[in-house]
Structure 1
Amino acid sequence: MKVLVTLISLIALLLVVLPGPLYKFGIVDLGTAFAGFKFGVYAGIAALVLLLLQFLLKRDTMTLGSSAIVVVFSVFSIAMPLSMMNTAKSVPPIHDISTDLVNPPEFVAIAPLRANAPNPVEYAGEASAEQQRQAYPELKTLNYSQPKAELVSAVEQAAKNLGWELINADASNGIIEATHTSTWFGFEDDVIVRVNDQGNERLVDIRSKSRIGGSDLGKNAARIHTLIEELDTVLAE
């Protein structure tokens, strides 16, 4: 029974860990990958139930090492998907975030790269904007005193520091575009930064949009915050 319980806990772990790489490399579709999470939770629960039965009925077959492995594998297989579900419930089901909700920056060089993406390149609209206002009221247009060229250069450096793929940097028009690819699933999210002159100030707006998925689990808003922090760090150097 010890071998069976350990095997089920290992299967549970694999059902949760492998969907990301399998989707990333085009072996399974997204629906199948997410189904793996569900069955991973079921398998993790089954392993813990069997471990309990083993403890009650065949305690002499148990070892501390194998039991610890079962618990670790099973708890991770259950906790990770449930954590993602809780995150999804705590944020609005949107995937297009901008510091300017009236006139969001428009993708230029990235637009052709999104031609076949499930989420269109156009802004998601007022319904998405209203949900963003409620969830992320702090995301607004930024003001800087540095010259436009310096800001464009600083944004470029910040994007590179964060490991994003730089797609376009147009200093004359104040546009920087980049793509961030997630490590686990390989999800591609696009970012555009727009720098405009307004008197002695420069207005900086940032937009981050997922290519796939109805909800971004808060990743785009977090990405904008991360870019702002890195930009400020670069400017302070």
Structure 2
Amino acid sequence: MTSYRTRKGQGVAFKVAIAGGILAALAALSMAGAGPAYRLEMLSLGEAFGLLRYGALVALGAAGLGAVGLLIAAFTRRGLPALLAALVILAGLALVAVPWQQLQQARTVPPIHDITTDLEDPPAFEALAEARQAAPNAVAYPGETTAKQQREGYPALGPLTLEASLSEAQAAAEAVAREAGWEIAAVRDDGLEATDTTFWFGFKDDVVIRLSETDDGVRVDMRSASRLGTSDVGTNAARIRSTLAALESRVGG
């Protein structure tokens, strides 16, 4: 009788773990497909985010089933169902970790989408003005309210001075932009404009790099602004930091 119950428990644990694995696979497909579905205009942005939330909930359900399967497998002392259930738990939690990390990141940065190294005189969009006029977010810099939030959220963000000529700095800026995979909209003697498209959802963020000659070399100012959304979850500030670091590494600051 005991052997029969053990075999039956093993079968139940295996079936529960398999069910959890199926849920984890559905969650992964749902979450991975949200971005491409939005980019292909199959879903609105709200629907795509809803698909992400749905996938996260399904992933939690998968982890729950994995936990149940693991308990049954532990009670019946069967290794294979326990291993499968543990893998399901890890998969479910890994899927939930992605949106959870995004949520935590959003809570640590200011809810703004337009970042610049010059809050007094932000670089202006010219070549990209028409494209931004067709987007929800404004062409002009939002103003002091955004500037105040940036000072509080990114107090160390500021311009970079390069020990180089204006032509050398311009060539370096263009090279860095192309290496980053940006779509160049305009190249000028004193800087450039470009668009960076995010990989997953295809969000477009516009960039201006402005170069100004000073007694110490060339001052580099940059502005990075999202076309869509209230908060960029820190993306534009991170882009500015990485770009200035790449310029400094290439030219010397």
Which amino acid is 2:220 matched to? V
Tell me which residue corresponds to 1:21: 36
Q: Which moved more, 1:6-15 or 1:46-55?
A: 46-55
TM-score under structure 2 length normalisation: 0.85
Could you tell me whether the CA contact under 8 Å between 2:162 and 2:248 is conserved in 1? no
Q: Which moved more, 1:191-200 or 1:174-183?
A: 191-200
Q: Does 1:168 align with 2:190?
A: no
Q: Which whole-Å CA distance do the structure 1 matches of 2:80 and 2:31 have between them?
A: 25
Q: Which moved more, 1:16-25 or 1:184-193?
A: 16-25
* Alignment counterpart, residue 30 of structure 1, candidates 33, 38, 45: 45
Q: Does 1:72 align with 2:87?
A: no
Tell me which residue corresponds to 1:126: 144
Structure-2 change in CA distance of 1:210 and 1:57 (3 Å): same
Displacement of 1:20 after TM fit? 1.3
Could you tell me whether the CA contact under 8 Å between 1:157 and 1:234 is conserved in 2? no
Q: Which moved more, 1:58-67 or 1:218-227?
A: 58-67
- Count, aligned residues: 234
Tell me which residue corresponds to 2:161: 143
Tell me which residue corresponds to 1:219: 235
Which amino acid is 2:218 matched to? R
- Aligned-residue sequence identity (percent) comes to 36
Structure-2 change in CA distance of 1:61 and 1:202 (3 Å): closer
Deviations 1:192-215 (A, max 9, x none): 011122345322210000111111
Q: Which whole-Å CA distance do the structure 2 matches of 1:63 and 1:188 have between them?
A: 45
Q: Does 1:185 align with 2:207?
A: no
* Alignment counterpart, residue 130 of structure 2, candidates 112, 115, 134: 112
Q: Which whole-Å CA distance do the structure 2 matches of 1:68 and 1:158 have between them?
A: 44
Could you tell me whether the CA contact under 8 Å between 1:95 and 1:220 is conserved in 2? yes
Displacement of 1:62 after TM fit? 6.2
Q: Secondary structure at the match of 1:177?
A: strand
Q: Which whole-Å CA distance do the structure 2 matches of 1:144 and 1:233 have between them?
A: 10
- In the alignment, structure 1 segments of 5+ residues that lack a partner are none
Q: Secondary structure at the match of 1:14?
A: helix
Q: Does 1:4 align with 2:19?
A: yes
Displacement of 1:115 after TM fit? 2.5
Q: Which moved more, 1:212-221 or 1:68-77?
A: 68-77
Q: Which whole-Å CA distance do the structure 1 matches of 2:208 and 2:70 have between them?
A: 56
* Alignment counterpart, residue 46 of structure 1, candidates 61, 65, 70: 61
TM-score under structure 1 length normalisation: 0.91
Q: Which whole-Å CA distance do the structure 2 matches of 1:112 and 1:66 have between them?
A: 54
Q: Which whole-Å CA distance do the structure 2 matches of 1:142 and 1:213 have between them?
A: 28
Q: Secondary structure at the match of 1:180?
A: strand
Q: Which moved more, 1:22-31 or 1:91-100?
A: 22-31
- In the alignment, structure 2 segments of 5+ residues that lack a partner are 1-14
Could you tell me whether the CA contact under 8 Å between 1:13 and 1:73 is conserved in 2? no
Q: Which moved more, 1:45-54 or 1:112-121?
A: 45-54
Could you tell me whether the CA contact under 8 Å between 2:118 and 2:222 is conserved in 1? yes
Higher-helix-fraction structure: 2
Q: Which moved more, 1:89-98 or 1:25-34?
A: 25-34
Q: Which whole-Å CA distance do the structure 2 matches of 1:6 and 1:202 have between them?
A: 57
